Amino acid sequence: MTPASRHQEGAGGVERVGVVGCGLMGSGIAELSAQAGYDVRVAVSSKDSLTAGRKRILASLDRAVRAERIGAAERDEVLGRISFTTDLIDLADRQLVIESIAEDKAAKVELFALLDKTLEDPEAILASNTSSLSITTMASATGRPEQVLGMHFFSPAQRIPLVEIISSLHTAESVLARAEEFVAAGLGKQAIASTDRTGFVVNALLIPYLLAAVRMVESGFASAETIDRGMTLGCSHPVGPLKLADLVGLDVLRSVADALYDEFKETLYAPPPLLTRMVASGFLGKKAGRGFYRYG
């Protein structure tokens, strides 16, 4: 079954999807939604971001063609379902908008307030792909808090089967049900529910594990390679914690750890000094060519 054939018309009451941001996650969500048959419009902040986002999606689809996961004709069909804009007003007709900008609370709150005023459909759902920030805070910036929730995808969004759906105290049960239907019937993903707690389900468990691996490197107890071999060979993990940290992005890891520590004040969530120094040095992981490993 191809991704496009999974799309059920009107799943969750959605035919037109908006995505704000076209970085690693935003581009993946846009590509996934278009593969599932949705009309997708991507809003970005500048023409440079638009060009980079379009190239990122095309490169991903070309890799899928080379790997024979899709054919060239399907690639072209998917691209034909995606349009781009630098003006939020072009999202006015969307029935679902998924925000996927940087993990900056103030920027997200401002964006949600703008989207609330932009969307014409009073039943439109506003979703955040945040990995750690409060859905309640974003919902409170709108006049439709009951229609705001979290829709947390994992990287790469096109291939990882899980989506966390996060409801705040405001989120209506009917909106939650529509979001679950969109994710399951529309995108063909597995959904798990979480309450609005920093880190939600997955990152609340994953982040302390990754930070413990960073501390082990920092202390000189073991190298990144040794730690990763130990966890892949000894625990059958598909990837070791330091390589996974590089894939996630060390800046993202630091941001989520900061959010967790701010809320719970538990030392297991505190970013180690080594992580802070690496982020300050621009060693952000695979996307920057260097993290705990070097990339070509």
Q: What whole-number distance in Å separates Cα of residue 131 and Cα of residue 206? A: 12
| Known catalytic residue at 129 | no
- Of 27, 128, 194, 203, which one is the catalytic site residue? 203
203 in catalytic set: yes
SS3 for the chain is CCHHHHCCCCHHHCCEEEEECCCHHHHHHHHHHHHCCCEEEEECCCHHHHHHHHHHHHHHHHHHHHCCCCCHHHHHHHHHCEEEECCHHHHCCCCEEEECCCCCHHHHHHHHHHHHHHCCCCCCEEEECCCCCCHHHHHCCCCCHHHEEEEEECCCCCCCCEEEEEECCCCCHHHHHHHHHHHHHHCCCEEEEEECCCCCCHHHHHHHHHHHHHHHHHCCCCCHHHHHHHHHHHHCCCCCHHHHHHHHCHHHHHHHHHHHHHHHCCHHHCCCHHHHHHHHCCCCEHHHCECCCECC
Is the Cβ–Cβ distance between 34 and 4 less than 8 Å? no
**Catalytically annotated residue among 60, 164, 168, 255:** 164
Look up 77 and say whether it is catalytic. no
Active-site position among 33, 60, 129, 131:
131
Residue of 152, 170, 180, 194 marked active site: 152
Catalytic residues: 131, 152, 164, 203
